[in-house]
Structure 1
Amino acid sequence: MKTLPTLYEWAGDMPTFEQLFSQFYHHVLQDEELGPLFRNMAPEHVMHVAHFVAEVFGGSKLYTTEDGGSHAKMIGQHMGKMLTEAQRQRWMLLLLRIADEIGLKNDPEFRSALVGYLEWGTRLAVINSHLPTNPMAHDAPMPRWGWGETGGPYLPGDE
């Protein structure tokens, strides 16, 4: 029986994720709508996001081991940002455009999984950006994304 590669393996490797997010945030900083949100981001932000998404997609646990991150910490980064749906959509549009520009795999199955994760994650970011406290338990596991699973309907507090 053939073993399916993880989304991380299918996408490439860590340099693929680093290139994706490095080029993406370069464009974000120049974007009229998103630039102000990220103008003061920490220099390590780009690598943290690359490591986070790579780990979620089945790659090395660089975000949780080397970056000292957790799912709760990532959720906490969005607290109080008061993100809008327009900003979320712009974020998605730019990231998918950069994915095309760098030649990220474009087969329908991979892109469906990628878009599914980005939709899920960005919608959670918007929800959590309007909350006064982090709903995520500090020891909550990192999300794992695969080739098409869903976690069922969204229920507040289930992040």
Structure 2
Amino acid sequence: MSTSIYERAGGMPAFLALARAHHARCLADPELNHPFSHDGLDPQHVERLGAYWAEVLGGPPTFSEDLGDHAAVLRMHSGNGDVSDLGRRFVRCFVEAADDAGLPEDPALRATLRAYMEWAVADVLEHERPEDVPAHLPMPRWGWDGPATRT
């Protein structure tokens, strides 16, 4: 594939739409809604999430330049006990949000997005406690063939 996942999806507007749609789906899910509806949620969460996914999937380094590295993301999401069912729900919401956001119905794109999110959930579940996350982890990069090198 000559274009990045980021470009094929539609660039930053597509990832912001995906993050908004995903957030709405998580709020509507009876099990996922709690972590997404509490008062402590960053008001810029959706924009940060869109920037994170965009960067990992071939877009500009907006997240890492402005907001931190991958270690910060893993620490924020670790230490929540067995959340494997929440992980499956999170992936389902992500896949369905791609339709809501109007992402291209390209089968290769959709399969790659699903594979990425399944990998990302597994990556979060590897760390039981925030203090178990190594410091200064570079951002992951995901390509058409799966995980690429971390930068």
Q: TM above 0.5, one fold?
A: yes
Structural RMSD (CA): 1.7
> Is the Cα contact below 8 Å between 1:71 and 1:143 reproduced in 2?
yes
The verdict on how the C-alpha distance between 1:55 and 1:91 changes in structure 2, with shifts beyond 3 A counting, is same
Q: Which runs of 4+ in 1 moved over 6 A?
A: none
Match 2:24 to one of 19, 23, 26: 26
The verdict on how the C-alpha distance between 1:63 and 1:122 changes in structure 2, with shifts beyond 3 A counting, is same
Query: What residue in structure 2 maps to residue 118 of structure 1?
Result: 117
Hey, which of these two has a bigger chunk of helix by percent? 2
Cα offset for 1:15? 1.1
| Partners of 1:27 and 1:100 in 2: CA distance | 11
> Is the Cα contact below 8 Å between 2:71 and 2:134 reproduced in 1?
yes
| Partners of 2:130 and 2:100 in 1: CA distance | 37
TM normalised by structure 1 equals 0.83
* CA radius of gyration, larger in: 1
1:136 aligns to what SS in structure 2? coil
Q: What letter is aligned with 1:113?
A: T
> Is the Cα contact below 8 Å between 1:14 and 1:54 reproduced in 2?
yes
| Partners of 1:121 and 1:98 in 2: CA distance | 16
Q: What percent of counterpart residues are identical?
A: 33
Query: What residue in structure 2 maps to residue 4 of structure 1?
Result: 2
The verdict on how the C-alpha distance between 1:38 and 1:83 changes in structure 2, with shifts beyond 3 A counting, is farther
Q: How many equivalent residue pairs?
A: 146
Match 1:142 to one of 139, 143, 146: 139
The verdict on how the C-alpha distance between 1:150 and 1:14 changes in structure 2, with shifts beyond 3 A counting, is closer
Query: What residue in structure 2 maps to residue 70 of structure 1?
Result: 69
CA deviations 1:129-154 (Å, max 9, x no partner) are x235132331x221111111347xxx
1:77 aligns to what SS in structure 2? helix
CA deviations 1:99-141 (Å, max 9, x no partner) are 112221222221221111101001112232x235132331x22
Report the more deviating stretch, 95-104 or 45-54: 95-104
> Is the Cα contact below 8 Å between 1:75 and 1:136 reproduced in 2?
no
| Partners of 2:141 and 2:147 in 1: CA distance | 11
